[in-house]
Amino acid sequence: MTGAPDPANLLRDLPPRQDQEWVEVLACGEGMRIQRIVSWGQCSPEGFWYDQAEHEWVALLSGAARIQFADGDRTVILAPGDSLTIPAHVRHRVEWTDPERASVWLAVFFR
């Protein structure tokens, strides 16, 4: 990189509504990846659980979402500004995202 970088706004230049969640890798390095994810009502398929080898810190910047955890059948409701750290191998799924507006996530995956 040379010179001063241009600023980016995580809530602008959103992709149009689509059938699949939209994922953009913003930065990555050894043992770490930062993504912007945009959901338009998408959720995990019935019976599917994430069981990832990395820890995940996620912040919901806009929209609304529900995350369900397999252990204890716990559900967490997220509103704009809420964040959550999900330890590696904690099984979870996106149960619901707002179908009326974009749910913009900032996700950091790390070891």
Contacts of 9 (CB under 8 A, 6+ apart): none
Burial of 67 (0-12, 13-18, 19+ CB in 10 A): buried
Question: In this structure, what CATH number is given to the domain that contains residue 83?
Answer: 2.60.120.10
Task: State the average pLDDT over residues 61-67.
Answer: 98
Mean model confidence pLDDT for the chain: 96
Quickly count: other Cβ atoms within 10 Å of residue 46's Cβ: 6
Q: Does the residue 11 lie in any domain?
A: no
Is residue 1 scored above 90 in pLDDT? no
The answer as to whether 27 is a domain residue is yes
Report the number of distinct structural domains present in the chain.
Answer: 1
Tell me how far the alpha carbon of residue 103 is from its chain's centroid: 9
| Structural domain span for residue 74 | 22-110
Q: What is the per-residue pLDDT across 66-100, written as a single tens digit (0 to 9) for each?
A: 999 999 789 999 999 999 999 999 999 999 999 99
CA dist., res. 66 & res. 7, Å (int): 30
Residue 60 in domain: yes
Residue 12 lies in a domain: no
- How does strand 83-86 pair with strand 32-39? unpaired
Average pLDDT for residues 7-32, to the nearest whole number?
A: 95
